[in-house]
Structure 1
Amino acid sequence: MTRVVVVGAGIVGLAVAARLAGRGDEVVVVDKEPDVALHQTGRNSGVIHSGLYYAPGSFKAAMSAAGARSMTAYARSRGIPVQTCGKLVVATEEHELPGLHRLAQRAEANGVDARLVTPAEARDYEPHVRCVGALRVESTGIVDYPGVCRALVEDIEAGGGRVRLGEAVVAIRTSGRRVHVRTDQADREADAVVACAGLHADRLARASGIDPEARIVPFRGEYFELTPGAAGLVRGLVYPVPDPRFPFLGVHLTRMIDGAVHAGPNAVLALAREGYTWSTVSTRDVVDAATWPGMWRLARRNVAPGAAEVLRSLSARAFARSLARLVPAITVADLRLAPAGVRAQAIRRDGTLVDDFLVKSAPRQVHVLNAPSPAATASFEIAHHVVRRLDAVLA
């Protein structure tokens, strides 16, 4: 029996641990938080992504498409709320149509069930939308990701594993055939470690003697929720055509599994890795980002779209105007604040984003170093890949 410590009780760490426990390994999950799924997993729109946006042949493309199926099947098998509702990506101006057509081509390359539709056909799906063309994506869904995490904890414990919350990992050291995991409460010994530390993945890698080759820079995504009176303006999911100058998808509208409609997220540099508001500031995290050359190189290439994101952060009216491009009936009076999330984005020294899932191996260690969206969708597929990598380093 292999003894494995899994660091991180987000959905990726829990999916890895459940897979290991299910095959008979002795597993303990360690996380510094008092509950599971408190960061990226529990602070997103709950979307099951189709694999539409990602480069053909990438991990994101393959794992997202497969993950949409495995996540939906798992949720249904465990009685977790899930719905395959589809979405519209809408071009609101003529100059966006080439980008929409490129998305349609990428959908075909990635095996995603999608088709271009006319404005009239788009309104059959979303009567209040305004567009000059749209892409209908059938396989996009919504799910209760925290509910999935609670079910995974049950799976881990049913397989004899343990989940230790409120325990922070400080360092990891491999010595011969053992790995020593030092936490703020105990020294743990195992045959192997899998680190799924999300917002702190690069720091934990360095503390384990591994060069992450990139730095995590936190981007806060702020959300509004449509008031009950305005929620009927959106039936499912409505997305804009992404701005090719900017590495995020743009503010969109998502009817969540509880029936509420979320609007967002924008993307602004967070002043702390767990900085869910402007007033949350970590000097260490700010210095970490400010001293990384890649951060400044990325910023110089994205001045205009970055400024627009900050404006949306500071002005609800500006946020509402962005949404009204998709659904003109939405006004600032229809918005109320909702909890924000923070995306852990790995940036290389040259300012390029680590655009795919990134997993690195070392003796008796596997580190998930970049797993932003669509990692929740693809979590079971990532877990399968990570366990294969783990077996390889133990062989």
Structure 2
Amino acid sequence: MTKQELQKELKEKVKEGVKPSDIKKLKRSKSTGDIPNAIPIAPPPPNLLQDQLTQKQTELESLRAELEKVNQGLKETKQQLDDSLTARIAGVKVFGQEHSQRIKSEQELTETIDQASSELNQGDNQITKLKTQLYQAQQQVSNLQHQLNLARLNKNSPLLTPTNLETNLDYLPLTLYALLAQRQNTLATFTGSASPQELQEVKKVNKIFADFCRNDIGGQDINEIRTKLNGRTLSEILEENDDYETKTDELTRKKGELEAEVIMLTNSRKNQVSEKERIITRLEQEKKDLTNKVSKKAKQLDEEQLEHKKTLTQLETLTQDLTNTRQANQKLLEEIKPLDDLTQQHQTQLRQINALFDPQAKDYPTIDFNGLYKQTPKAEEIKAMEQDLKTLTLEKLNFLQAREQMDESIGKARSLF
């Protein structure tokens, strides 16, 4: 390089704002000593580059398709998780409804029990009241019976019985006649005008009356009978006896009615108690069934929640595995890319070497090196190159197998969802 050319180059490189110290950093122009002696390898033909580009595009499309499948699997997994969450929310709503129904049933059961207790207490109070009334009626009947017995004892006469009263009514005219005859006898005694026959009849009547008073009325004479009557007439005694009998019959009837009412109320309360017990038993059974159902729902929700957690864990694991697989795939692609270039370059060199011995070798789809080994003196070197080519091919096959195994693992992971 001449001095003028160097100055021209410096003028082109030096611009405004460039310091002199920066000129030292500029790279010097290459001289003839820097030119390498080796002849550079010719670039590969356009068809080969086109094939490599097509292959890489195919691999890229396959990777995109695989990525699309993985994204689709993730979407399906997300949809399954959303469905599981929706089902869980629905289960929680059902649990809340059943819990509210259980609380409502418990409140109804409590109200029913309180109402039944109140009704039973009212029934007991009413039964107690009726029993008190019945006891009072019985006491009143006993008092009346006692008074009636006292009256009978004081009179000491069977006139108080209804049968004797009915039979003794026939003697009333006779009794009155006897009293009248006694008065006439008394007057005759003072006057002395009675005949013996009349006196005999009066004695006979007096004897009948005395027997009647002694045997039927229970008195020796008229004075004793008057004392027992205590100033009352026979009709008054009969009316009083009728009143006692009527009141006794009325109280007896009332007692029977009260007893029948007590029995009816007792049976009604027993039926009500039985009905309330059946209702309580049914409500308790419903409460027990609801409790069991709620327990089963809670257990099912817990199991679904645990399964959901396991699914999330598996999803995270699969996502991590997928990320690691993608990274490993990317590393393998980066590692295999130089191998593909080297393999293609190796094949090109072998084809060029074979073309030295066979001009038509460049058009062969496959190259048979058996005849070439016999013709070339560098057969060992060619065999070594072929062995390297086979090794690279095996490595590529191993990579493809590893990739297929990775696809199978991804498929199994998807099948878990």
Normalised by the length of structure 1, the TM-score is: 0.17
Instruction: Identify the structure with the greater strand proportion.
Output: 1
Normalised by the length of structure 2, the TM-score is: 0.16
In our comparison, the structure showing a higher alpha carbon Rg is 2
